[in-house]
Structures are given as C-alpha cells and as structure tokens.
Chains A and B, each alone.
Chain A
C-alpha cells in the first residue's frame, strides 16, 4: 500500500471512508514524519497532542456517520492565522509568545470540517519575503535541496512567504496547508516546490483573524499536492464572513464538480508583456509547452496585452508597505507581544519595535511611512493607486477576449538560502508574475508542469476572472492532467 503520508487528500478521504485506516493512524503517520523532518524547519510550533485528540474525535464522528468534508485530514496552518490557545508568531520576535484567545475564521472553518491541525508553519516575517529567509525562527529548507536537505551544500529556499507550508506539503509532512498571498506568497512557493497553490479572488475568503500585512491585497488560500485537493480545501475555506467587511457575499460553487470539465472552445490568453527582458529560457519554454497542452486539449490560445505589467512591482512596493506601516502600528509593546523598557512611553514604543521587527519588516515600515508622509503622499501613494487602476483596467480589457490567462508563476527555480539577500530589489523580482493579480484582486492558481535541467520543479500560473475559481479549477485540472507532473523531492518523510 502507498505510504499514508504520500496520499492525496482525496485518496485519504476515500481510505478513511472505506475504513482502510483511521484518522488517528493517518495523523500518527504525519506526526512521525513531522518529527523525522524537523530539520527542514517547516513548523514553528508543532501540535502533536492536539492533533491526536482531534483525530480521535474525528474517528468517533465518522463512526457515528457525521464525518465532515475534510474529516480526519491532517493539515498545517501558516503561522499568520490566529489559532485559539496555540502560539501564533507571524515568524516575528515581536509575537514570539503571543497566544491568541480566538481562532481565525478560515482555520475555524477547516476545524469545523473535521480537519486535524498538525502545527503552525514557518514563513517570512509578517509574510514579507519570497524565500522564507526573513523568518525570526530561521529559514525553512526545501526538501528539493537533496536527499539530506539539512546537510546539502546549497540549501534551497521553498519560496515565500508561505515557506513552511510549501515545505510541509512537498515533504509529505502535511496533506495540505493554508497559505496567504499578498504579492505571490502562495503561488511562488508552490511553483518552486512542485505543489499546487491558489490565491482566490480578493473577498472570497475571510481575512478575519489572519495577521494583517497589506489589507487591500491579502488573501487566504490552500496549498496541496493536487488541483483536486486545492478545490476541496478552498470549498471549506471560502465564503462570506460577517466579521470581515471586505469578504464578499456571493455563492461558493461546487469546486470539485468543476474538475474534469473541458477547455474545448475556451480562449486562453498569453500576455506578451510577461515575456520580460532576460526571461529565463527554460521558464519561457515551459510556458510555451503549457500553452501547447491547452491547445491540444481544444482551447484556443491567443496573444493578449496587459500594457501596465511592468509597473505592477513598483506599485506594489508603494501600496503594500504603506498598508503594512499602518497595520503594524499596533505592535507597540502595550497590549500584546514583546515589550522593551524605555526612558518614557515613546522610547518604549521605539525600542520595542526596533528590537521586535526584523530588518526587512523595518525597511517596509519605513518606506510605507515615507510614502504616506506629508509632502510625498500624492507623488507616491496616490500615484501608485492610480496606476493600480490602470493595471486592473488592463485585465478587464483582456478578459473581454479570453476566458483565462496562462503565465509563468516564478522567474525560475528555487534559489539557495543566502542568495538574493544583499539587494532587496532582487528578492522583490521573484513576484514579477504574481503581484499583478493581487493589485487587480483576481484569482490565480499555480500548477506544477515540469522539471528544469537542474532537476527542480517549475509551475505555471493560470489567472481567472473575479470569483471564477471554478473556471480556474477546470483549466488547472486539464493542465495538470496534460503535464502529468510526477516530480518528487529527493527527500520526503
């Protein structure tokens, strides 16, 4: 029989229903894997006792005929989601000992569906980064680094910011994980670890109880080893929440039913502006290969134009830091988190925040404060908001002529820990293909499509119309089937 940790969520649900194994056995297999793979630093906090207790309750529910949609499925939760009674750090020293007294809406929905919480996964501090390397708890190491990743000469990043989530899913120490995506933090890690990740439409999932980075861009989403598993998780995570006024009250369609649909007659756009200067030839080749797969499946592939693409990253690096500087003002050493004593109240604030925030977070707070400050607000912040509208208008125009858009998901394969850290701009470019969607609020999914010559995975991104995650799942499952990606990290638990 396949190892329990190798199963997809869909297979595991079948196995549980057929009583081939219990939720406790499935959970214990993952707890053992989590312990054996601890060197990957995927988890900041492991919750094995809680997981076992939840697994026993799950088995009891199933025996009584009350199993939920994800009953007995062991999941990992990004440590940006507040979890009641379980430490939640945002990978920051400033929240090192923070234990929420409430549960985020999305993680509560996953619990209500019967899922098991294995622990809280590592990330870039406050989700600010693209390699997981800004975590105050040390970087997560990609299982693609080698058969012995911890001792590999080049330890690869699992992407970021959802670094622990992509690591856990790829290394088979969680069946699925939650991520958050503000500029690419679900899709870029999925691309470099050979996993599937979807950033839903802004407003599709509640942000309540998820530690805020940039509120007009942040979205929750699942990370899994198959498109179907992402559909199953998003089904549970999505929906209007009275506690988040930006969540949108629209129906959540049956995502699993959307799988296996046909792309015959669909129009798939390839934006010519995504063929950026100096694009990695392998990335470009994979993109064309993906387009051919969809063509072979009956779709019509057309070239489209998104003229303001090149301005998306600069817009993002004004708007996201501006919102972050405001959101992170709450960490003042008074109500929760770290406090460093000072000579007076102001000195206490400033000492606490300097000691508690890492370098990248401080940098973004400073940029955000600057672009919002008197005299610069119009030149930077308002200007960025105006260009943001042009970027969204580009997509509105494009979707008049196509049903979905296919692009690369990341510029290349995973880089190594220590690389791209001297110059922040180099790191920011990791999100060049993903960040446009956050600005426009659109859904995007990353599907693993092939291996590069260096043996590392590469994914492609599909972009859909607002709230058309179902359509996106249809195209993604066709691409997944055509690609037949069977890449597997050299190390798995």
Chain B
C-alpha cells in the first residue's frame, strides 16, 4: 500500500479539506509514514477476535422516546456565521 498524490486528492475531497496541489505530495509522504508504521498490526493474529468498539460492557440505557429539548432558536443560531430570520444560510445549492 502506498498513497500517491491522486489518493491524497481523493481523501482530501472526502474530508472536505481544500489541500492545495503543491502540498499534496508532502501530505502523501506523511500519511505513508504513519500508515507504514501502523501496518505492524499485520503481525497480530486476530482470528476469531471480535472487534471492540466500546469498552462499556453494559447495554446503553434507553430513555422514553419523548421530546425533552428544543424551542430555542436563538441559542441554536447564536454562533451562526450567516443567518436570516430563524434560518442558517448557505450558498445557493439549487441551480
């Protein structure tokens, strides 16, 4: 496995990071170093080992399915970079 500039461009797009083309080669080198280092996990035999996603053994608690928060548009919009009335605004997405 080796990450090239094209792969960096693809990951950057998936990550929504506008990495300039002239920085992509450098980034590829850094990512290759790190991924090459984590590849030592290939030594470990994990046959029959269940993945561990959470260290909490107990089942997560459920709560009644009722609305218990909301009705605070001022709070929600307090840090909005752009807003109109009670709405966030973004660049036009419909042509």
Q: Is A390 a contact partner of B49 (Cβ separation < 8 A)?
A: yes
The segment from A31-39, A171-179, A336-344 that touches chain B is A336-344
B55 touches A335 (CB 8 A): no
Please, which residue of chain B has its CB at the minimum distance from the CB of A317? Answer: B38
CB of B14 within 8 Å of the partner chain: yes
Determine if B56 and A246 form an interchain contact, defined as CB atoms under 8 angstroms apart.
Answer: yes
- A99-B79, A318-B38 known; A334 vs B55 contact (CB < 8 Å): no
**Beta-carbon nearest neighbor of A314 in chain B:** B38
Q: Which of B34-82 contact A (CB under 8 A)?
A: 34-35, 37-41, 44, 46, 49-56, 58, 60-61, 63, 72, 75-76, 78-82
Number of A-B contacts (CB under 8 A): 160
Residues of chain B within 8 A of A342, CB atoms compared = 91
Contact code string B77-95 (vs A, CB < 8 Å = 1, else 0): 0111110000010111100
Q: A202-B55, A383-B46, A389-B51 are in contact. Are A334 and B88 (CB under 8 A)?
A: yes
A258 at interface (Cβ–Cβ under 8 A)?
no
Known: A101-B78, A339-B82, A366-B11. A440 touches B55 (CB 8 A): yes
CA of A337 to CA of B41 in the docked complex: distance in angstroms? 37
From B49, B78, B93, A389 is in contact (CB under 8 Å) with B49
CB neighbours (8 Å) of A439 from chain B are 55
A362 to B14, CA, bound (A): 12
A386 & B30 in contact (Cβ 8 Å cutoff):
no
Q: Nearest CB to that of A388 among chain B residues?
A: B52
A206 → chain B, closest Cβ, in Å? 13
- B72–chain A nearest beta-carbon distance, Å: 8
User: Considering only CB atoms and an 8 Å cut-off, how many residues of chain A contact the other chain?
Assistant: 69
Closest CB in chain B relative to A18 CB, distance in Å: 42
Which of chain B's residues has its CB closest to A364's CB?
A: B34
CB of A181, distance to nearest CB on chain B (Å)? 14
Query: A315 — which chain B residues lie within 8 A by C-beta?
Result: 41
Chain A contacts of B12 at CB under 8 A? 350, 366
Query: Within the assembled complex, what's the spacing in Å between the Cα atoms of A458 and B3?
Result: 39
Contacts A354-B19, A373-B11; A345 near B90 (Cβ below 8 A): yes
Q: How far is the CA of A389 from the CA of B93 in the complex (A)?
A: 44
| Chain B residues, CB < 8 A from A357 | 17
| A246-B60, A335-B79, A366-B31 known; A308 vs B44 contact (CB < 8 Å) | yes
Residue pair B19, A362 in contact (C-beta under 8 Å):
yes
Within A231-246, which residues are at the interface with B (CB < 8 Å)?
242, 245-246
B55 touches A441 (CB 8 A): yes
A350 with B18, Cβ < 8 A, contacts A311-B44, A373-B11 known? yes
Q: Taking each of A248, A314, A357, which has the highest tally of chain B beta carbons within 10 Å of its own beta carbon? A: A314
Whether B44 contacts A390 by the Cβ 8 Å rule is yes
Indicate if the CB atoms of B52 and A242 lie closer than 8 Å: no
- Check if A481 is an interface residue, CB within 8 A of chain B: no
Asked whether B93 lies within 8 Å of A344 as measured between CB atoms, the reply is: yes
Does A425 lie within 8 Å of B34, measured CB to CB? yes
A to B CB contacts below 8 Å, 28 in the list:
A202-B56, A216-B55, A246-B54, A248-B56, A308-B44, A332-B16, A333-B81, A335-B88, A342-B91, A344-B91, A345-B91, A350-B12, A363-B27, A363-B31, A365-B15, A366-B15, A367-B31, A367-B35, A370-B7, A370-B11, A370-B31, A383-B41, A384-B41, A386-B50, A388-B51, A389-B49, A390-B44, A424-B34
Interface on B for A, CB 8 Å cutoff?
3, 7-8, 11-19, 27, 30-31, 33-35, 37-41, 44, 46, 49-56, 58, 60-61, 63, 72, 75-76, 78-82, 88, 90-93
The 8 lowest CB-CB distance pairs between A and B, nearest first, are: A441-B55, A385-B51, A336-B79, A339-B81, A389-B52, A386-B46, A350-B18, A101-B75
**Further 8 A-B residue pairs, CB within 8 A, beyond A308-B44, A336-B79, A363-B27:** A202-B55, A245-B60, A317-B38, A341-B91, A346-B16, A384-B41, A386-B44, A388-B52
Residues of A participating in the B interface, judged by any CB pair closer than 8 Å: 97-99, 101-102, 202-203, 216, 242, 245-246, 248-249, 308, 310-311, 314-315, 317-318, 325, 329, 332-339, 341-342, 344-351, 353-354, 357, 362-363, 365-367, 369-370, 373, 380, 382-390, 392, 423-425, 439-441, 466
